[in-house]
Amino acid sequence: MAEVKREIFGHMPLEDGGGEVEKFVLQSDSVRVEILSFGCIIAALETRDRAKQFADIVLGFDTLEGYTRKHPFFGAVVGRVANRIAKGKFTMDGKEYQLFLNNGPNSLHGGARGFDKVLWSPQILPNGVCFYRLSPDGEEGYPGELKVWVTYTLNGSELAINYRAQTSKKTPISLTNHAYFNLAGQGSPDIYDHEISIEADSYLPVDDTKIPTGEVAAVQGTGFDLRQPVQLGKHLKQFHLNGFDHNFCLPLGQARHLVARAHHPPSGRTMEVHTTQPGLQFYTGNNLDGSLKGKGAAIYPKHSAFCLETQNWPDAVNKPHFPSPLLLPGEEYNHTTWLCFGTA
């Protein structure tokens, strides 16, 4: 059973509505995680290496101010729709909805003030914490009043994140957590010595604004074939890739399945990702540029972390042949992702 503690982390600026931000510390023998009531942010995640030494393996900030300023969604829950919607537009039942454009010509991760930039109401559980918020009808251009629950639970070396939602009107929804990992420890300069595997036979090619073209392409014989572990640095060189920022297509259905594994041979740390979601966005921190001061005054240059974001496929609301992101009144959105930590 994990131990759960709560403490005050900071106070929201008055221009953002004020309010107290709490930090919840979940701790087992092998994992310690800190989660904020602002954005449901995973602010720290400590796991052991093979010498039993703990290190914090997620990027982030020491203070609330870092998270309230512009940053690339470090550790946050993003929504109402994770990833990109082309031109910030979609049509549903003959009505066109226009969202805020915050990623070139597209809408990304819920818009100008998505789920990552708001206070959630916490409730402590025996081995975790549940966060709740009500997203008003029309928030960021999305229809329907949406009740959302995000629950983090820690059991031994496994952190589970469950997402539930109910809506008053038909709406698209896709929720994920945007933690940036470096198994050598946050602040380490790159992830080139990490080994990564992803259990996906196909992926989504994208245009130059990172919107899927609509093709579902086989990974076989391409640089996107990660079904066997690859050393990231060597692999990027071999296939002349600037990095990954792509959706990998997972088995459909509500069953839990293993979808990715990361291993850092020098420390021995491993991480497995299991999920019920249909997609996994693998991102290698291509847009990190060293300009943000992180925890312990660390800087975060390009390729200094990776994200494994379990979610629906990007722009699915505009692609009828993709898994549907639409939630109807009376239905419940319910997905879980499990992060399992160890050594090898």
Q: What is the mean pLDDT of each run of 10 residues along the chain (344 residues)?
A: 94 90 98 98 98 98 96 97 96 96 92 94 97 97 98 98 98 98 98 98 96 98 98 98 98 91 98 98 97 96 98 98 98 98 97
Contacts of 329 (CB under 8 A, 6+ apart): 144, 166, 167, 168, 169, 170
Q: Where are the beta strands (DSSP E) in 61-143?
A: 77-78, 84-85, 89-92, 95-98, 107-108, 121-125, 128-135
Rounded to the nearest integer, the mean pLDDT of the chain is 97
**pLDDT score for 112:** 87
Fold for 3-343, please state it: Beta-galactosidase; Chain A, domain 5 (2.70.98)
* Sign of CA pseudo-dihedral 205, 208, 211, 215: negative
**pLDDT score for 67:** 97
**pLDDT score for 49:** 98
Q: Round to whole Å and give the CA distance between 323 and 310.
A: 14
Binding residues are: 83-84, 178-180, 245
Measured between alpha carbons, how far apart are the two ends of the chain, in Å? 24
Binding residues for beta-D-galactose are: 83-84, 178-180, 245
Q: Nearest-CA neighbor of 175 among 184, 167, 165? A: 165
Long-range contacts of 25-28 (CB under 8 A, 24+ apart): 26/2, 26/127, 26/128, 26/129, 26/152, 26/153, 26/154, 26/159, 27/2, 27/3, 27/154, 28/1, 28/2, 28/3, 28/154, 28/155, 28/156, 28/157
Q: Which of 178, 264, 274, 335 is catalytic?
A: 178
Q: Round to whole Å and give the CA distance between 10 and 339.
A: 27
Q: Which of 194, 264, 309, 335 is catalytic?
A: 309
**pLDDT score for 17:** 84
Q: Round to whole Å and give the CA distance between 120 and 335.
A: 19
Residue 131, Cα to own-chain centre: how many angstroms? Answer: 16
Q: Round to whole Å and give the CA distance between 247 and 142.
A: 23
Give the model confidence (pLDDT) of 307-317 as tens digits. 999 999 999 99
309 given a catalytic annotation: yes
